[in-house]
Amino acid sequence: MTRPIAIIGAMDEEITGLREHMQIEAEYKQAGLVFYEGQLAAKPIVLVRCGVGKVNASICTQILADRYQPAAIINSGAAGGIHPNVDIGHIAISTTVLHHDFDTTALGFQPGSIPFMDSSLFLADTHLVQLTQAASENVFGAACTHTGLVVSGDQFISSAEQKQRIGQQFDALCAEMEGAAVAQAAHLNDIPFVIIRVISDRADASAPENFAAFLQSVLPGLTRVVETVVEQA
Ligand code: ADE
């Protein structure tokens, strides 16, 4: 059996477009999650809404690994822009991912470092990154397509202080709430992954308002990008 590509979104809004475009053949339920099994762009996929935050994302990714041994994992959704060039409506593609809220600096470890793991900076699959970059440049244009570090934490970033701290500690494109957990679980299970995020807000005091205002309008372009990546992977 061909191993499927797994696609994870955190919220309903982040999987609805893909669910509408896929042919659903079966549903599997575990841990309060619904795994939609079927085809997208004539490729076998499994699509799931993991819920918000890193614990939900970790549990979901491990179930995917155990049940489907996916050929690749794509985590797609929205994010807050951290880098000054990364604005609302742009796309951020992970080359690397880390937890911005993992803090054992009091013990002498670097910010974001997970003690005693072989790596805390998770490397996305270069082929998936290249495919995503090409697809995004087609849909959004090169000026709105960014590759680099995506950081995650169990926080919705919504103040200048939080944004500044993350920007100073890490050279991050954007912040979101699941990617590093997906990346860590994918790394531990030897599964290639990429995190693909569309920017819904600037991760500052205007973020709650912008997130609500722009989420629905920025997601359809992301759906097109993910569909193209699945088609070409
Ligand atoms: N997802 C979208 N916007 C975000 C933000 N500002 N912080 C964390 N996750 C987000």
**204 labelled catalytic:** no
Q: Which of 152, 211, 222 is the pocket-test mutation for ligand 1 (most atoms within 8 Å of CB)?
A: 211
Domain with 193, as residue range(s), is 5-228
Q: What confidence score (pLDDT) does residue 155 get? A: 98
Q: What are the CA-CA distances from residue 197 to residues 50, 93, 226, 230 (Å)?
A: 15, 6, 10, 16
Residue 41 CA to residue 181 CA, distance in Å, equals: 27
CATH number for position 111: 3.40.50.1580
Contacts of 61 (CB under 8 A, 6+ apart): 8, 50, 73, 181, 182, 185, 186, 189
Task: Compute, in degrees rounded to 10, the torsion defined by CA atoms 4, 74, 68, 41.
Answer: -20
**209 labelled catalytic:** no
Q: What confidence score (pLDDT) does residue 222 get? A: 98
Give average pLDDT by consecutive 10-residue segment, the chain, 233 residues.
94 97 98 98 98 98 98 98 98 98 98 97 98 97 98 98 98 98 98 98 98 95 98 97
**Residue whose CA is closest, atom 2 of ligand 1?**
79
Cα distance from N-terminal residue to C-terminal residue, the chain:
17
- Please identify which of the residues 125, 201, 204, 227 carries the catalytic annotation: 201
Q: What confidence score (pLDDT) does residue 35 get? A: 98
Q: 14: Cβ below 6 Å to ligand 1?
A: no
Q: What confidence score (pLDDT) does residue 9 get? A: 98
In a domain, 233, yes or no: no
The string of DSSP letters for 140-181 reads H-GGGEEEEEEEE-SS---SHHHHHHHHHHS-EEEEESSHHH
In a domain, 213, yes or no: yes
In a domain, 215, yes or no: yes
In a domain, 56, yes or no: yes
For residue 201, what are its two tokens? 């807000």
Q: What are the CA-CA distances from residue 128 to residues 17, 55, 147, 217 (Å)?
A: 20, 24, 12, 25
Q: What confidence score (pLDDT) does residue 145 get? A: 98
pTM over 0.95: yes
**Domain count for the chain:** 1
Q: What confidence score (pLDDT) does residue 7 get? A: 98
Q: 91: Cβ below 6 Å to ligand 1?
A: no
